[in-house]
Amino acid sequence: MSTTLLDPVGLGDRTSGLPALHAAIDGLRDLDSFDAYDEVLVDLDRAIRRLEAVKLRVVAAADAARVADRTGLADTSSWLARRTHAGSAQSAADVRLATALESDRPCAEALSAGDLSTDHARVIVRATEQLPSHLPEAAVTQVEQSLVEQAGRLSPDQLRRAARRALAAVEDNQAAVDVHEDALLRSEERTALAKTRLTWHHNEDGTVSGHFTVPAVAAAILIRVVQSMTSPRRARLGATEAQAGDPIEQRDWAHQNGLAFVELLEHLPTDHLHGKVAATVVATVELATLQAALGAAGLDSGERLSAGDTRRLACGASILPAVMNGPSLALDLGRSSRLFTEAQRTALATRHHTCAADGCERPFAWCELHHQHPWSHGGSTDLKDAIPLCGFHHRRIHDPSYMHRFGPEGLTFHRRT
């Protein structure tokens, strides 16, 4: 029988090192002398993750010891919120994670070693809970180990998306994996609709504040429109010289997004609300999938969509299906054209969600298409040679002060010496 990560007995003896830990942290206050910032940052992040794991072990021990009963509180999450001054929702989530992590779980071991974060751990625990109930325990452990390995190279959000197909680690039948993923997506979509809300109130100063919760695919449509409207490339085409010269980093993006939202609202068509809307989100889907309504589609925002919702939204052009194995457009233009077409841009959006530079999170809607092999040096306007770059990295790739390299993780730069 497995046990929680920390036996509540003898807890005091195990915390004798805490004063030394605090002293070590105090010794890290002067960080200006570090040269290897990358290594220091990675080590600090790993230490923080290990401390988070220790905290969860303490929470698990407190829950097993029924500490809340001693203080007259309702449950362990209430005790945790009171002792740490954290929010009730966060405390409840921490207790759920702490009690789910058992000592023999790969996820618990990786968290204790600092190899993944608590956010990664929550995704993994949730994914294993959603596996088919008929799977034997050994198969569940194998799936969990696979997710732990993926967590080493994916962000929590990327891992959440990948986890929908976690069953593939132990299931060779592709159709079974597709059915499982589609069931998870349909469940998410039903939950998302149930959580959908829109509220607003007047501020008595000429403004109205609001809050909304909508399904991810609906948000992707709105976000894509706003990103296109606030794109620095669009601003350069229509702004004054002074405005166009403003550094991207110095702009108030919340304000820019707000102005774009106002412009969008002011131009909403109200005379035919049941007509088609602008096709701003691309969904990659096999032709057979679209016809059979089985299997998921991948949005260019990075989200996944059930086949049913893909068919529904395609009817109204809320999304633009990039249908694989269906009728195609010319995507390789060779030397016949210098500029990339909208069809090529749409196809590229199925491969890239952001700027192709390593570590850059600027959205695809902001990007310009760059020839990987320069047109001026005989390059072709073919899809395989197109690479999306934000304005900053597009300028950087043409800066002779830097060398660049295309690798498996994206485009990287190094200053010439």
> SS3 sequence, the chain?
CCCECCCCCCCHHHHCCHHHHHHHHHCCCCCCCCCCHHHHHHHHHHHHHHHHHHHHHHHHHHHHCCHHHHCCCCCHHHHHHHHHCCCHHHHHHHHHHHHHCECCCHHHHHHHCCCCCHHHHHHHHHHHHCCCCCCCHHHHHHHHHHHHHHHCCCCHHHHHHHHCCHHHHCCCCHHHHHHHHHHHHHHHHHHHHHHCEEEEEECCCCCEEEEEECCHHHHHHHHHHHHHHHCHHHHHHHCCHHHHCCCHHHCCHHHHHHHHHHHHHHCCCCCCCCCCCCCCEEEEEEHHHHHHCCCEEEECCCCEEEHHHHHHHHHHCCEEEEEECCCCCCCECCCCCCCCCHHHHHHHHCCCCECCECCCCCEHHHCEEEECCCHHHCCCCEHHHEEEECHHHHHHHCCCCEEEEEECCEEEEEECC
pLDDT, residue 9, reads: 38
Contact 304, 181 (CB under 8 A): yes
pLDDT, residue 211, reads: 96
The terminus-to-terminus CA distance of the chain in angstroms comes to: 60
pLDDT digit string, tens, across residues 357-380 = 988 888 888 888 888 877 666 777
pLDDT, residue 354, reads: 86
pLDDT, residue 240, reads: 43
- Band (pLDDT 50/70/90 cuts) for residue 94 is very high
pLDDT digit string, tens, across residues 104-125 = 789 999 999 999 999 999 999 9
Lowest mean pLDDT among 119-123, 312-316, 349-353: 312-316
User: For residue 305, what are its two tokens?
Assistant: 């969509």
Q: Where are the domains of the chain?
A: 33-174+184-192, 212-327, 342-415
- Is the pLDDT score of 278 beyond 50? no
- Is the pLDDT score of 250 beyond 70? no
pLDDT, residue 275, reads: 40
- Band (pLDDT 50/70/90 cuts) for residue 249 is low
- Is the pLDDT score of 252 beyond 80? yes
pLDDT, residue 335, reads: 46
pLDDT, residue 13, reads: 56
Percent of the chain with pLDDT over 90: 39
pLDDT digit string, tens, across residues 192-201 = 999 999 999 9
Q: Sign of the CA dihedral 404, 407, 412, 417?
A: negative
- Is the pLDDT score of 174 beyond 50? yes
Mean pLDDT of 331-356: 71
- Is the pLDDT score of 224 beyond 80? yes
- Band (pLDDT 50/70/90 cuts) for residue 416 is confident
Residue 88: C-alpha distances to residues 77, 82, 83, 240, 401 (Å): 7, 9, 11, 49, 51
- Band (pLDDT 50/70/90 cuts) for residue 273 is very low
pLDDT, residue 377, reads: 66
pLDDT, residue 160, reads: 94
- In DSSP terms, 297 is beta-bridged to 305
Return the higher-pLDDT residue of 233 and 47.
Answer: 47
Mean pLDDT of 326-336: 48
pLDDT, residue 110, reads: 95
pTM of the model: 0.67
Across 140-154, 313-327, 386-400, the highest mean pLDDT is recorded for 140-154
Percent of the chain with pLDDT over 70: 73
Mean pLDDT of 205-222: 91
Return the higher-pLDDT residue of 25 and 390.
Answer: 390
Q: Share the mean pLDDT of the chain.
A: 80
Mean pLDDT of 401-407: 88
